[in-house]
Amino acid sequence: MREFFGRSMRRLGQGLLHLLDRLTRPAAAVRHEPELAFRARLTSGVLLFWSAAFLLEGLWWVWSGQGRMHVHLEVILPAVFFLYLLSRTRFVLWAALGGVLGLTLLIHLLAYLAWQQTDMGVALLVTPPQYLLVSHLIWLLFPILAAAVLLPRLLDVLAIVLIVHSVWVLPRFLPVQPRDVALLYGILLGVSGPIAVVASLQKHQRRRLARLQAKLVEQHNFLRAVIDAVDAPFYVIDAATYEIVLANQRARSLGIEQAKTCYALTHRRTTPCDGTDHPCPLAHVRTHREPFVVEHIHYTPDGRPYFAEVHGYPILDEQGEVRFMVEYSLDITRRKEVEESLRKLWRAIEHSAHGVVITDAQGVIEYVNPAFTAMTGYTAAEAIGKKPSILRSGYHDDEFYANLWRTIRSGQVWQGEFVNRRKDGSLYYEEQTIAPVRDEQGAITHFIAVKRDITEYKRLIRELKEAKVQTEQALAFKSALLAAISHDLRTPLGAIMGYADMLREGLFGEINEEQRARLSAILSSAQYMQELLAMLLLHAEVESNSLRIERKTVPLRKMLTTVHESLRVLADKRNLALELDFRPGAPEEVYTDPRLLRGIVTNLVSNALKFTRQGGVTIRVERLDEQRWALAVADTGVGMSEEERQRIFEPFFTRSQVKMSGAPGLGLGLYIVRSLVERLDGSIEVWSEEGKGSVFTVILPYVRPPRAETPASPRLSAIR
């Protein structure tokens, strides 16, 4: 029973408190201002209390049979209740002010009438002075409380004024008896209690409000510091106007003073975003009432565009409508660049001609590209989840694979060749490079292998090796043949030339002119064969890379004069001039191989005489600079076309016999000349024009002869 009674009383108390809270709840307009809301609640409570007091007093007058309804019910109660209703609106301050002015005047007017007229229709229980005293004290309490609501800091002063007015002023001007004074002090005690309670509540509420305000300021500063610490534009947008009502430091740096709306701030637009390229986050959030993420192109204050990922979150009001939207944007330009790089890399791998395989750290295949499928026959679905051992052919032993795994697991790159087996069972050669892939901590997470099918390459290498062996055999045969020609042909050829010359000169008896002409033809043919043999031998040396360079000091003028005199006979026979031109400053001595240099000059002059029908040939020597000198052979012959000039140094290339004057050659002379020039670290240039002649210019490095020379090794056979 006691428990039931306690529970009932608690429920009754909670109900009364809830009813009081409902009756004194401030208006919505002032509810968000803590101090004003407290004043409104206090004013409503006081007005509600006095409304109840006046109602009970009037009902007591009626019930006691003292006369008709008291003036409290006719005048004061409606006025107080009207002020109570007014305190429940946003005009709470007007309600308090009306209580101070209106009720004070009304109560004092009633008290005055009671003092002057005792027969005003109200059955008084006390004498007029007593009624005036009691009414003055009681009804002055409400204006004081109302004034305390308007000016809470003057509450203590008003309480002191009330006490002084009641204790010192009233007894002097009112004819009261000692019992009235006692009644006065009793009333003061009753009045002082509510005043003290109200004052205490006011002070407590002011201290509480001060603490709350300090805490709110602290929380505001903390939240401001939090959003300012976000290194991305963060702001709150009014859903109705698109205006930014709150922004962090990063967003303010974009220029909020000039751009009040979100679209003006980040897009440099005068209208909200629209379309599929730039969908408006606020429009989506406002329609669907849900968070939204979209990628936009934003602009920095200097107009530079960048990619941004925009996040929008709704803030709903009491009716569930979007009132604000929290928005922040992340600069994803670097991420977009990385994504584009990854896309390019992906496309490159997908379209690569080489097979690419990616496995995890245990060697399980996670990715293969199309080239792998073309190479092995295994599709991606068939290979992923398996190990590369599906390609094993049995050609390699276990140690081969163990060494491979030791290498890549130690963080090194492995390169080598495999003999693997395709899905159809055929074998193929594969060149493979395997590299480990590490994470941020340096741990190996994957392996990537790049594979190249080298079966065809292996076949070509095998064929090249076979061809090389055949070529070496052919070269050996050619060298043996040339040695035989040098030994077996040149000796009888010399005898033929010697006897033919002796017969032509009449050493074996008189001969007629016809016989002499036949012998001259024999000598010319033998001499041509001797030059041909010498050319073939030199070509063999060049091709077999057995040509030895023996540099020594060469008296250039003397050597060229000797060549000039030896070839002058051929020029005279063709009625051509052969001149030797040493330009001023030309070197008198050079440090080079005399045999090769003589071969170069002889071949160039012989070739020039062969293609010159009139005019002549000039050998010109000059110094180009400190490091180079030049030897040029110029003729006034038939010249060359552009096609012939491009092919003139090819082996066995011969020009038209129509342009020649003399026996045709093998087409090796100029090829050998260029080879000899290159062996002497030089170069050769050609100028030619059909009908005007040609100029072959050999440019060689100028090396000063050493002061002391060591004896040269035996020279090879000279070119005849």
**Average pLDDT score over residue span 665-685:** 83
For residue 146, pLDDT beyond 70:
no
For residue 430, what pLDDT is reported?
93
**Average pLDDT score over residue span 570-592:** 89
For residue 182, what pLDDT is reported?
55
For residue 670, what pLDDT is reported?
85
d(CA 618, CA 637) in angstroms, rounded, equals 12
Domain residues for the domain of 45 are 19-208
The listed range with the strongest mean pLDDT (142-156, 254-268, 509-523, 548-562) is 548-562
Q: Are residues 503 and 565 in the same domain?
A: no
Lowest mean pLDDT among 9-23, 49-63, 419-433: 49-63
Q: Are residues 55 and 201 in the same domain?
A: yes
For residue 157, what pLDDT is reported?
59
Q: 577-582 and 616-623 as β-strands: parallel, antiparallel, unpaired?
A: parallel
Lowest mean pLDDT among 67-81, 411-425, 544-558, 586-600: 67-81
For residue 712, what pLDDT is reported?
43
Q: Are residues 678 and 569 in the same domain?
A: yes
Q: Are residues 70 and 160 in the same domain?
A: yes
Residue 133 maps to a domain: yes
**Average pLDDT score over residue span 267-293:** 83
Q: Are residues 269 and 121 in the same domain?
A: no
d(CA 234, CA 262) in angstroms, rounded, equals 11
For residue 379, pLDDT beyond 70:
yes
Lowest mean pLDDT among 201-205, 261-265, 444-448, 477-481: 201-205
Residue 11 maps to a domain: no
The listed range with the strongest mean pLDDT (199-208, 294-303, 354-363, 668-677) is 354-363
Q: Are residues 465 and 402 in the same domain?
A: no
The listed range with the strongest mean pLDDT (17-31, 44-58, 322-336) is 322-336
pTM higher than the cut 0.85: no
d(CA 568, CA 592) in angstroms, rounded, equals 25
With bands split at pLDDT 50, 70 and 90, how would you rate the model's confidence at 720?
very low
Cβ atoms of residues 58 and 70 within 8 Å: yes
- Percent of the chain with pLDDT strictly greater than 90: 21
**Average pLDDT score over residue span 509-523:** 81
**Average pLDDT score over residue span 30-56:** 66
**CA–centroid distance for 96 within its chain:** 67
Both structure tokens of 388: 């590369």
Q: Are residues 437 and 505 in the same domain?
A: no
Lowest mean pLDDT among 359-373, 500-514, 577-591, 612-626: 500-514
**Average pLDDT score over residue span 434-461:** 92
With bands split at pLDDT 50, 70 and 90, how would you rate the model's confidence at 119?
very low
Residue-averaged pLDDT of the chain:
76
d(CA 170, CA 174) in angstroms, rounded, equals 6
* End position of a domain, from candidates 405, 437, 453: 453
With bands split at pLDDT 50, 70 and 90, how would you rate the model's confidence at 120?
very low
**Average pLDDT score over residue span 427-456:** 93
**Average pLDDT score over residue span 493-519:** 81
Both structure tokens of 126: 């006390």
Per-residue pLDDT reduced to its tens digit, 629-645: 999 999 998 888 888 88
Residue 7 maps to a domain: no
Q: How many residues does the chain have?
A: 720
For residue 179, pLDDT beyond 50:
yes
Q: Which residues, listed in sequence order, are joined to residue 701 by a DSSP beta bridge?
A: 628
For residue 390, pLDDT beyond 50:
yes
- CATH number of domain containing 286: 3.30.450.20
For residue 663, pLDDT beyond 80:
no
Residue 478 maps to a domain: yes
| DSSP string for residues in 30-61 | TTTSHHHHHHHHHHHHHHHHHHHHHHHHHHHH
For residue 626, pLDDT beyond 50:
yes
Q: Are residues 201 and 291 in the same domain?
A: no
**Average pLDDT score over residue span 377-396:** 93
Residue, of 462 and 269, whose pLDDT is higher: 462
Give the number of domains in the chain: 5
Q: Are residues 235 and 120 in the same domain?
A: no
For residue 183, pLDDT beyond 60:
no
Residue that has been written with the tokens 């000198």 in this structure: 629
For residue 116, what pLDDT is reported?
52
Residue 150 maps to a domain: yes
**CA–centroid distance for 337 within its chain:** 4
For residue 715, what pLDDT is reported?
34
Count the neighbouring beta carbons within 10 Å of the beta carbon of residue 465: 10
Both structure tokens of 438: 């590490």
Report the SS3 class of residue 393: coil
Residue 87 maps to a domain: yes
For residue 649, what pLDDT is reported?
83
Residue that has been written with the tokens 């090819």 in this structure: 650
Residue 107 maps to a domain: yes
d(CA 247, CA 234) in angstroms, rounded, equals 6
- CATH number of domain containing 590: 3.30.565.10
Residue 172 maps to a domain: yes
**Average pLDDT score over residue span 405-426:** 93
Angle at 149 between CA 145 and CA 153, to 5 degrees: 100
d(CA 156, CA 206) in angstroms, rounded, equals 14
For residue 67, pLDDT beyond 50:
no
DSSP H stretches of helix in 544-593: 556-573
Per-residue pLDDT reduced to its tens digit, 312-332: 999 988 888 899 999 888 888
